[in-house]
């Protein structure tokens, strides 16, 4: 690296990469790279994004976005390299925002119920240091200290 290039921390680069991925998912997910017109649109959107102030990248909304077009989970056991599962939720062109959010909710409810209804899975998660609460959290009374 030359002295004229800024030195970024790993975390800053990771946030920037995640922000670009989120931007592409949110703003460019419906574009088709086989289409010359869409490729031009994609290039213009990325160029505009690159010129924007990136201080917003650190905002919680950018770090924890809701998926707009695709939600993918690729679960791999890193020490062994074993591929366990890849789950993809894809928004079709016909889906309204609410439909895609409903699909995401369905996914999380299904995963949550599978964990809740399987004591062995709960035990394994807890043994790995993950807190699993299957009872409905009780709301603190008004004025009570949390």
Cα 65 from Cα 52, distance rounded (Å): 18
Q: How far is the C-alpha of 139 from the C-alpha of 146, rounded, in Å?
A: 10
pLDDT in tens, 45-74: 887 777 775 555 444 444 334 556 777 778
Which of the 8 DSSP states describes residue 85?
E
* CA dist., res. 19 & res. 127, Å (int): 33
pLDDT digits (tens, 9 = 90+) for 69-115: 777 778 888 889 898 888 888 877 787 878 878 888 888 888 889 99
Q: Which two tokens stand for residue 108?
A: 């999380």
Domain residue ranges of the chain, discontinuous segments joined by + = 1-63, 66-133
pTM of the model: 0.45
């Amino acid at each position: 690296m030359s002295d004229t290039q800024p030195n970024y921390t790993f975390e800053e680069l990771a946030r920037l990469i995640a922000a670009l991925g989120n931007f592409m998912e949110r703003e460019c997910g419906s574009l088709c790279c086989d289409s010359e017109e869409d490729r031009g649109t994609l290039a213009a959107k990325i160029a505009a994004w690159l010129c924007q102030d990136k201080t917003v990248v650190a905002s919680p909304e950018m770090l924890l976005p809701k998926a707009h077009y695709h939600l993918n989970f690729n679960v791999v056991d890193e020490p062994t390299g074993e591929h366990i599962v890849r789950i993809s939720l894809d928004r079709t062109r016909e889906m309204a925002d609410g439909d895609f959010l409903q699909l995401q909710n369905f996914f999380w409810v299904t995963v949550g119920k599978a964990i809740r209804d399987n004591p062995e899975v709960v035990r394994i998660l807890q043994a790995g240091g993950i807190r699993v609460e299957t009872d409905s959290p009780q709301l603190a009374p008004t004025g009570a200290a949390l």
